[in-house]
Amino acid sequence: MAPIVLFAYNRPWHTEQTLRSLANNQLANECHLIAYIDGPKANATAEQKKKIDDVVSIVREQKWCKSLQLHISESNKGLANSLIHGVTHTLSRYDRVIVLEDDMILSPFFLQFMNDGLNKYQHEEDVISIHGYCVPIEYSMPIFFLRGADCWGWATWKRGWKYFNANTEQLLKHIVETNCQYDFDFYGNYPYVKMLEDQIKGKIDSWAIRWYASAYLQNKLTLYPGKSLVQNIGHDGSGTHQQSEIGSLADVTKSPIFISDIEIKESKESKALISRFYFKQLSARGKMKKWLKLG
């Protein structure tokens, strides 16, 4: 079983929900759990520090896993730096890893899918990662590949993470030079290029957009399930980034997803379906914002 790396900070309720759903997985007792808990900011209040202490206590109480390693930062690194450091450090000791944040409800079959995917594609250089979340639409295939990488319940190998490039300027320059902005933005319907630009301007601090861009520019693929194994519960104002509520729309599947033999190439059909979903969701949100402003 691949080790599970969990990144948490100051959300005890969210952390508890994530760990509870993880413990309900059929393979949970065979897995090593490695938790990285970020430290307080310099101006943190006593209440904020207590929330971090509560998260530490919740993680320490976990008895379902094969082993538990706890890394507690004395100061605040921020999610991006914490995750990049934690994944890199873990993959210096293991050849694969499953990565979670503290705001995800998982299907009981999440770990099975992750480990099956890691085992099946461990020697396929074109496959960079396995992902647990998918947007809630009807797909024609039970599993499919997309170009790039993703961030809500995912797994990779040491050979995959070596492609991670933290230099946003280089990533954006390459995308512009190769004129692939339209495809990179899911046919113009999700603002991934703008996220790179915002990262450069310091408006956001995201490891995820750099992971997606790094994999995309290397023409690598990620395996997705046709039914989501992950629901994001972090879009309640408690987390670092709140740009989208799309992750909270998916209900986790109550059935296992089996990994059959499929062609190792991007599913243009699935990408088009997801693009239309993004268009509808973001258009609806834009209309609502306009209506609220007029009101």
Closest CA to 219 of 126, 157, 131, 156: 126
15-54 burial: b if 16+ Cβ within 10 Å, else e: bbbbbebbbebebbeebbbbbbbbbbeeebeeeeeebbeb
Place of tokens 């209506």: 291
C-alpha distances in angstroms, 228 versus 47, 83, 92, 182? Answer: 35, 23, 30, 26
The torsion angle over the Cα atoms of residues 20, 22, 25 and 30, rounded to 10 degrees, is: -120
The answer for residues whose C-beta is within 8 angstroms of residue 72's C-beta and 6 or more apart is 37, 39, 56
* Average pLDDT of the chain, as a whole number: 93
The answer for residues whose C-beta is within 8 angstroms of residue 225's C-beta and 6 or more apart is 113, 131, 132, 134, 142, 143, 253, 257
C-alpha distances in angstroms, 37 versus 81, 89, 138, 239? Answer: 12, 14, 37, 14
The alpha-helical segments, DSSP class H, found in 63-122 are 79-90, 110-120
pLDDT number for residue 250: 75
Taking residue 145's Cβ as centre, other Cβ atoms within 10 Å add up to 21
Residues in the chain: 295
If one counts the domains in the chain, the total is 1
Which residue segment(s) compose the domain that 129 sits in? Answer: 4-294
Q: What is the CA radius of gyration of the chain?
A: 19
Place of tokens 């059935």: 255
Q: Write the pLDDT tens digit of every residue in 153-210.
A: 999 999 999 999 999 999 999 999 999 999 999 999 999 999 999 999 999 999 999 9
Question: Residue type for 21, please?
Answer: S
CA angle 213, 94, 158 (to 5 degrees): 25
Judge whether residue 17 has pLDDT over 70.
Answer: yes
Q: Write the pLDDT tens digit of every residue in 32-80.
A: 999 999 999 999 999 999 999 999 999 999 999 999 999 999 999 999 9
Q: Write the pLDDT tens digit of every residue in 260-274.
A: 999 999 999 999 999
The answer for residues whose C-beta is within 8 angstroms of residue 127's C-beta and 6 or more apart is 121, 145, 160, 220, 221, 222, 223, 264
Q: Is the pTM here over 0.75, yes or no?
A: yes
For residue 167, give the CATH number of its domain. 3.90.550.10
Q: Write the pLDDT tens digit of every residue in 102-132.
A: 999 999 999 999 999 999 999 999 999 999 9
